[in-house]
Structure 1
Amino acid sequence: MNTIIVVGGSKGIGNAIVTSLLSSHKVVNISRTEPQVSHENLTHYNCDVLNDDLPNIEAADGLVYCPGSINLKPINRLSLDDFKNDFEINVLGAVKAVQKYLPILKNGNKPSILLFSTVASKLGMPFHASVAASKSAVEGLTKSLGAELAPTIRVNAIAPTVTNTDLASKLLRNERMIDNMNERHPLKKYLEPQEVADMATFLLSEKAASLSGQIFEMDCGIVSFKL
């Protein structure tokens, strides 16, 4: 049974990934709060990835880095600290996790790393300067690491559109905003966490053995189509 490390698996997309993996994988979750799920295959470490030392883990076959931010402001209201904080959460935290667990991943069973970007890295969107800048760095990191670690470790990223999580709750806080969000997407929907978790479990599996250095746009058509 493969072991997957999930950083940030207590809420949202990360929690959906943890829940999806538990029946067939050992899962090590690292987050500030404990997931609201109990399972014999789950090990949890309370840890702030940016400020604490990451726990020592003996073996792993996959790493998923889920923490992210949605800090939407006009450019004149974004401070340099806003940019620094988003970069730390989205990029430096991922780098810290990769560097910590790379030695054990190299000894894993067909190991894989999965990171997270956003559709805002491809689609210019107002008020997204900080998050788009940091997530674009994640995409560069994905491609560079994919090349560097081939053929031993595959590295991919998922770039979701708006997903129904606590992180995006301000964008979906009433029926009018929900209707507008649906209307903005050509498929007339936004994402549920389980949809992203399904893609994540696929990319971590042997079914995705030929995929590395790829950014998978889960966009409900908003980037891909102009209708």
Structure 2
Amino acid sequence: MKNIVIIGYGKGIGLATAKILSGHHKIIGISRTGNPELQHPNIEVHRMDIISGNLDDIAFPEVVDGLVYAPGSINLKPFNRLSHDDFKNDFEINVLGAVKAIQKLLPNLKKSESASIVMFSSVAAKTGMPFHASVAASKSAVEGLTKSLAAELSSHKIRVNAIAPSLTDTDLAYQLLSTPEKRESSARRHPLQRIGHADEIGEMAAFLISDKSSWITGQVFGVDGGMGSVKL
């Protein structure tokens, strides 16, 4: 049984990943809100904001085999309405929070025989989309961080990969999917004619954490219904 830390496990993709992995692994779940509905003997719950909280308050296992950093943001505005604080907040959530978690857990990850780190980008990082300037900028930084750390940590046999979803049916995307008309319009924009589900992204995260992906590192995987690579 591996020890897997999932930050942002309380909702959406993080929660889906926790459900998938908890059947066979010990999960240390960290989120701002927790999730009282998710009760499992293999899940240890910690309520903490990754940005303002102190990770030293958590007694992590000596060996950590996987880290999934799942917090994210959807802050879509015209560029001239995006403030400096908007850019700072998106960067803090998507990048600096991941840096904080990885730096804290790196000694534990180095003790694993086969450790894996999974972060989250967005289809918008490589596909120009209007109103995505802030989130695309921070998610592009996630992709750069992924590749740099994959190179730096390879000597420790720590794999680092990222997943770049398109629009997924989670609480984070509620405003974009709040009516049947919005859902239908969003679905039509994807080559596969539908939006994504958290479980589908969670399955990819679970694969990248597992030993089945033991020869994969430094990659950014588009799980996006074809949005990032197919033009109809």
TM-score range, shorter chain: over 0.9
Q: Which residues in structure 2 correspond to 1:196-211 (within 5 Å)?
A: 196-211=201-216
CA separation in 1, counterparts of 2:98 and 2:32? 16
AA partner of residue 136 (structure 1)? S
Question: What is the SS of the residue equivalent to 1:17?
Answer: helix
1:146-198 C-alpha deviation (Å, 9 max, x unpaired): 00000410000000000000000111111111111111001111110000011
| Rounded Cα–Cα distance in structure 2 between residues aligned with 1:138 and 1:11 | 20
Residue pairs, 1:168-183, within 5 angstroms: 168-183=173-188
Helix, strand or coil for the counterpart of 1:20? helix
The Cα shift of 1:20 comes to: 0.6
Which runs of structure 2 are paired with 1:1-227 in the superposition (5 Å)? 1-35=1-35, 36-54=37-55, 55-58=58-61, 59-151=63-155, 152-227=157-232
CA offsets, 1:191-223, max 9 Å, x none?
100000111111111110110000000110111
Question: Per-residue deviation at 1:144?
Answer: 0.1
Q: What CA deviation, in whole Å up to 9, does each residue of 1:80-139 have, x standing for no partner?
A: 000000000000000000000000000013000000000000110000000000000000
Alignment partner of 2:27: what SS? Answer: strand
- Give the TM-score of the pair, scaled to structure 2: 0.96
Unmatched 5+ stretches in structure 2: none
Q: Are the aligned partners of 1:30 and 1:47 in contact in 2 as well (CA < 8 Å)?
A: yes
Structure 1 runs of 4+ aligned residues shifted over 3 Å read none
After superposition, the CA RMSD in angstroms is 0.8
- Partner AA of 1:100 in structure 2: K
Residues 64 and 113, structure 1, Cα contact 8 Å, conserved in 2: yes
Structure 1: gaps spanning 5 or more residues:
none
Report percent identity of matched pairs. 55
Q: What is the count of residue pairs matched by the alignment?
A: 227
Aligned equivalents of 1:174, 1:45: Cα separation in 2:
34
Contact 1:2 1:109 in 2 (8 A): no
